[in-house]
C-alpha cells in the first residue's frame, strides 16, 4: 500500500521538497506498514512558506469578500466531488474506518469552506458611529499571516476548520499538520489552488514539535491556532504571548456526560457510545466521565455492555467496520497503561480492556472498554486518555453531580440526558464547559461555535464567531470641521 505524496510540502502553489529535513514516516495504523516517507521542514522551508504567505496575503486581502467566498465555495464543491478519494486517504492517514471518514471528515471540511465562503460577503461589515458633526467607522481587517498547527485525530477537518475562516477573513495561512498524519492537508492545499486561490494563500509544511516553535516565534506571523494537548497549548500560548500574538487554543478535555434516571436510557447509551467510541475514542470533546444516576445504573450498564460488545472492529477499509485501530502504537500503549491503572485502582471492568481476539496482524487495535464504579480520584477519571475507554461513575442527586462534574481543570464539553427540560437547562447553565449538548452528544455542525474553557483553551472555531479570531477592528475617526487645539 502506498500513499506517497509528490513531495513533503506545498508552498506557493506547488509541491516542494528539502531532503535535509528529518524523515517523517507515515504509518498505516491498521497494519503498521510505512505508506509514505516525508521530511520535516528545514528552517529554509519555514522561511519559504512564510515569505510566500506574506506576499500572497496582500493580494488576497484586496479581493472583495464575495470573490474570496467564491473560491472557498468552489473548494467545498471539489472536496465533495472527491469525497471518496479524500476519505480513503484519511482512512490511510488515521486508521479511522471508511464508514466514518466518508461522512465526517472531508465532508465537514467542505461544510466549513462552504459556510465561510457563504457568510463572508456580509460578515466582515463594519459599523458607522455618529458623533455629532464628526463621525467614525470601523472596519474588520485580517491579521496577516496566520499559522495553523493540527492534531492527528481529524487531520483534514482541522486543516479546513482553521483554513476556511482564516482565508475568508483575508489572511494567508501556513498550516502544519501533526507529524503522525501528514497526508491529508496537502490535498486541501492542492484543492484550494484548483479552486482559484492565489498561490501562497494556503501553504502546508510538515514537521514535529521542533518545527512548530519556528512557526510560532516567526516575526512575520500574527496569529497561531493550535489543536493539541494542554501541555503543548501551554508552550505555544507562552511563546506567542512573549511576542503578543493572537492565539486560538483547541486543547484536551475530560468532559462529563450526566445521565439522569428519567432519561431515555437507550438514547443516553447512544450518546455515551458516540462520545467515547467514535474515531476509536480519539475525540477531544468526548464525554469520558459518564455520570449515571444510581436508580438506572444496572440497566444502563447491562445494555451498554451488550451494545459495546457488538461493535464491529477490523479492517478500516471495509465498509462494515465500525471501529478501526488507534492512530499509533505509542497511543495504544498509552491507552493500555491507563486501562491497567483503572484495574489497579479498583474500577470494575465491564467489558474490553485488551486487544481484540479477532485481530491477528500488526495493527494498533484495542477493544472498546467500559469501566464502572469509577470514583473521582482515580487516574482514569482525572486524566485525558484519548482512546475508547469509558468511565461510568454513580451519583445520587443534581447538586452533587454538578459539583463533581466541574471538579476538573478541563472545560471543553459536557452533556446532559434527561426528560426534564427545566433541569436540562438548569444543569447545563452550571456546567463549566465551552460546548454542551442536551439529549445528544458530540454533534459539531459548522453553524455552531466550538471550543473550550478553563485549561481546554480559548477562542472558538466554526460559526461567524471564528471570524473574530482571524481579524481585528480598525477604527477611523473622521473630523468634519477644523481641528481645534488648546495650544
Which of 42-50, 192-200, 231-239, 266-274 is the region at the interface with ligand NAD (rule: CB under 6 A)? 231-239
In this complex, which beta carbon is closest to ligand NAD, that of residue 226 or of residue 405? Answer: 226
174: its cell numbers: 501556513
Task: Select from 150, 271, 281, 353 the one that contacts ligand NAD (CB under 6 A).
Answer: 150
As measured in angstroms, the least distance from the Cβ of 284 to ligand NAD is: 3
As measured in angstroms, the least distance from the Cβ of 103 to ligand NAD is: 18
Dihedral angle computed from the Cα positions of residues 274, 279, 284 and 288, in that order, rounded to the nearest 10 degrees: 40
In the annotation, is 483 catalytic?
A: no
Task: Select from 153, 248, 255, 276 the one that contacts ligand NAD (CB under 6 A).
Answer: 153
Answer whether 163's CB lies under 8 Å from 138's CB. no
Which of 24-32, 148-156, 261-269, 417-425 is the region at the interface with ligand NAD (rule: CB under 6 A)? 148-156
Helix, strand or coil, per DSSP, at residue 203: strand
Binding flag, residue 384, ligand NAD (CB under 6 A): yes
Task: Select from 44, 59, 103, 213 the one that contacts ligand NAD (CB under 6 A).
Answer: 213
Residue 32 annotated as part of some ligand binding site: no
Catalytic residue among 160, 284, 391, 444: 284
Please tell me the distance from the alpha carbon of residue 253 to that of residue 432, in angstroms, as a whole number. Answer: 12
Task: Select from 100, 250, 315, 432 the one that contacts ligand NAD (CB under 6 A).
Answer: 250
Catalytic residue among 187, 250, 297, 444: 250
Please tell me the distance from the alpha carbon of residue 433 to that of residue 420, in angstroms, as a whole number. Answer: 21
Answer whether 448's CB lies under 8 Å from 462's CB. yes
In the annotation, is 250 catalytic?
A: yes
As measured in angstroms, the least distance from the Cβ of 101 to ligand NAD is: 15
As measured in angstroms, the least distance from the Cβ of 363 to ligand NAD is: 19
Q: How many helices (H) and strands (E) does the chain have?
A: 16, 22
Residue 152 annotated as part of some ligand binding site: yes
Residue 93 annotated as part of some ligand binding site: yes
Binding flag, residue 216, ligand NAD (CB under 6 A): yes
Contacts of 300 (CB under 8 A, 6+ apart): 259, 265, 268, 269, 292, 392
In the annotation, is 461 catalytic?
A: yes
Binding flag, residue 212, ligand NAD (CB under 6 A): yes
Roughly what angle, to the nearest 10 degrees, separates helices 65-81 and 83-94?
80
Per-residue CA distances from 397 to 259, 282, 404, 440 (Å): 11, 30, 11, 21
Question: Does residue 214 come out as left (phi exceeding 0), alpha (psi in the -120 to 50 range) or beta?
Answer: alpha
In this complex, which beta carbon is closest to ligand NAD, that of residue 5 or of residue 198? Answer: 5
In this complex, which beta carbon is closest to ligand NAD, that of residue 65 or of residue 388? Answer: 388
Answer whether 168's CB lies under 8 Å from 297's CB. no
Helix, strand or coil, per DSSP, at residue 274: helix
185: its cell numbers: 492537508
Beta strands per DSSP E along 239-327: 246-250, 256-259, 289-293
Binding flag, residue 21, ligand NAD (CB under 6 A): no
Containing 291, the helix (H) or strand (E) segment is strand 289-293
In this complex, which beta carbon is closest to ligand NAD, that of residue 229 or of residue 317? Answer: 229
Task: Select from 291, 365, 386, 437 the one that contacts ligand NAD (CB under 6 A).
Answer: 386
Task: Select from 76, 412, 414, 427 the one that contacts ligand NAD (CB under 6 A).
Answer: 412
Strands 172-176 and 145-149: parallel
Query: Cα angle vertex 178, ends 175, 183, to 5°?
Result: 80
Binding flag, residue 228, ligand NAD (CB under 6 A): yes
Binding flag, residue 252, ligand NAD (CB under 6 A): yes
Please tell me the distance from the alpha carbon of residue 334 to that of residue 238, in angstroms, as a whole number. Answer: 27
As measured in angstroms, the least distance from the Cβ of 448 to ligand NAD is: 13
Residue 244 annotated as part of some ligand binding site: yes
Question: Judging by beta carbons within 10 Å of its beta carbon (0-12, 13-18, 19+), is residue 443 exposed, middle or buried?
Answer: exposed
Task: Select from 92, 169, 186, 284 the one that contacts ligand NAD (CB under 6 A).
Answer: 284
Binding flag, residue 315, ligand NAD (CB under 6 A): no
Q: How many binding residues for ligand NAD (CB under 6 A)?
A: 29
Which of 70-78, 208-216, 305-313, 388-396 is the region at the interface with ligand NAD (rule: CB under 6 A)? 208-216
Residue 210 annotated as part of some ligand binding site: no
Query: Cα angle vertex 457, ends 450, 92, to 5°?
Result: 65
Indicate the length of the chain as a whole number: 487
Catalytic residue among 74, 96, 162, 297: 162
Answer whether 311's CB lies under 8 Å from 413's CB. no
Please tell me the distance from the alpha carbon of residue 374 to that of residue 393, in angstroms, as a whole number. Answer: 5
Residues that bind ligand NAD (CB under 6 A): 149-153, 176, 178-179, 208-209, 212-213, 216, 227-229, 232, 235-236, 250-253, 284, 384, 386, 412, 452, 457
Question: Per the annotation, where are the binding residues for K(+)?
Answer: 26-27, 93, 244, 454, 457
Question: Per the annotation, where are the binding residues?
Answer: 26-27, 93, 150-152, 176-179, 244, 252, 284, 384, 454, 457
Question: Per the annotation, where are the binding residues for NAD(+)?
Answer: 150-152, 176-179, 252, 284, 384
Catalytic residues: 162, 250, 284, 461
Amino acid at each position: 500500500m502506498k500513499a506517497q505524496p509528490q513531495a513533503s510540502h506545498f508552498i506557493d502553489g506547488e509541491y516542494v521538497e528539502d531532503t535535509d529535513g528529518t524523515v517523517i514516516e507515515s504509518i498505516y495504523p491498521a497494519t503498521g506498514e510505512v505508506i509514505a516517507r516525508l521530511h520535516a521542514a528545514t528552517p529554509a522551508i519555514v522561511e519559504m512558506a512564510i515569505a510566500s504567505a506574506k506576499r500572497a496575503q496582500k493580494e488576497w486581502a484586496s479581493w472583495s469578500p464575495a470573490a474570496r467566498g467564491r473560491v472557498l465555495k468552489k473548494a467545498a464543491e471539489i472536496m465533495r466531488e472527491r469525497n471518496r478519494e479524500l476519505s480513503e486517504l484519511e482512512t490511510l492517514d488515521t486508521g479511522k474506518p471508511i464508514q466514518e471518514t466518508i461522512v465526517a471528515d472531508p465532508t465537514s471540511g467542505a461544510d466549513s469552506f462552504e459556510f465561510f465562503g457563504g457568510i463572508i460577503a456580509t460578515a466582515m461589515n463594519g459599523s458607522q458611529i455618529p458623533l455629532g458633526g464628526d463621525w467614525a467607522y470601523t472596519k474588520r481587517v485580517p491579521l496577516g499571516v496566520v499559522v495553523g498547527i493540527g492534531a492527528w485525530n481529524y487531520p483534514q477537518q482541522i486543516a479546513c476548520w482553521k483554513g476556511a475562516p482564516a482565508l475568508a477573513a483575508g489572511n494567508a495561512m501556513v498550516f502544519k499538520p501533526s507529524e503522525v498524519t501528514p497526508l491529508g492537508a496537502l490535498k486541501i492545499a492542492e484543492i484550494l489552488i484548483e479552486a482559484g486561490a492565489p498561490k501562497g494563500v494556503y501553504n502546508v509544511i510538515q514537521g514535529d514539535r521542533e518545527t512548530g516553535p519556528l512557526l510560532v516565534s516567526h516575526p512575520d506571523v500574527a496569529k497561531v491556532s493550535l489543536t493539541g494537548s494542554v501541555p503543548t497549548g501551554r508552550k505555544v500560548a507562552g511563546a506567542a504571548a512573549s511576542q503578543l500574538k493572537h492565539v486560538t487554543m483547541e486543547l484536551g478535555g475530560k468532559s462529563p456526560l450526566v445521565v439522569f434516571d428519567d432519561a431515555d436510557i437507550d438514547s443516553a447509551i447512544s450518546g455515551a457510545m458516540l462520545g467515547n467510541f467514535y474515531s476509536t475514542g480519539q475525540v477531544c470533546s468526548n464525554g469520558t466521565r459518564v455520570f449515571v444516576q444510581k436508580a438506572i445504573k444496572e440497566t444502563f450498564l447491562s445494555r451498554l455492555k451488550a451494545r459495546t460488545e457488538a461493535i464491529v472492529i477490523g479492517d478500516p477499509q471495509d465498509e462494515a467496520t465500525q471501529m478501526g485501530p488507534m492512530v499509533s502504537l505509542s497511543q495504544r500503549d498509552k491507552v493500555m497503561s491507563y486501562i491497567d491503572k483503572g484495574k489497579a485502582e479498583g474500577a470494575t471492568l465491564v467489558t474490553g480492556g485488551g486487544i481484540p481476539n479477532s485481530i491477528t496482524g500488526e495493527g494498533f487495535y484495542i477493544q472498546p472498554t467500559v469501566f464502572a464504579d469509577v470514583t473521582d480520584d482515580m487516574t482514569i477519571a482525572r486524566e485525558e486518555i484519548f482512546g475508547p475507554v469509558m468511565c461510568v461513575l454513580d451519583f445520587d442527586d443534581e447538586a452533587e453531580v454538578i459539583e463533581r462534574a466541574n471538579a476538573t481543570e478541563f472545560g471543553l464539553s459536557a452533556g446532559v440526558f434527561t426528560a426534564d427540560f427545566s433541569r436540562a437547562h438548569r444543569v447545563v447553565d452550571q456546567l463549566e464547559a465551552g460546548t454542551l449538548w442536551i439529549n445528544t452528544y458530540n454533534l459539531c455542525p459548522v453553524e455552531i461555535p466550538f471550543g473550550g474553557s478553563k485549561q481546554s483553551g480559548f477562542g472558538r472555531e466554526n460559526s461567524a464567531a471564528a471570524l473574530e479570531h482571524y481579524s481585528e477592528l480598525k477604527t477611523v475617526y473622521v473630523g468634519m470641521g477644523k481641528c481645534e487645539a488648546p495650544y
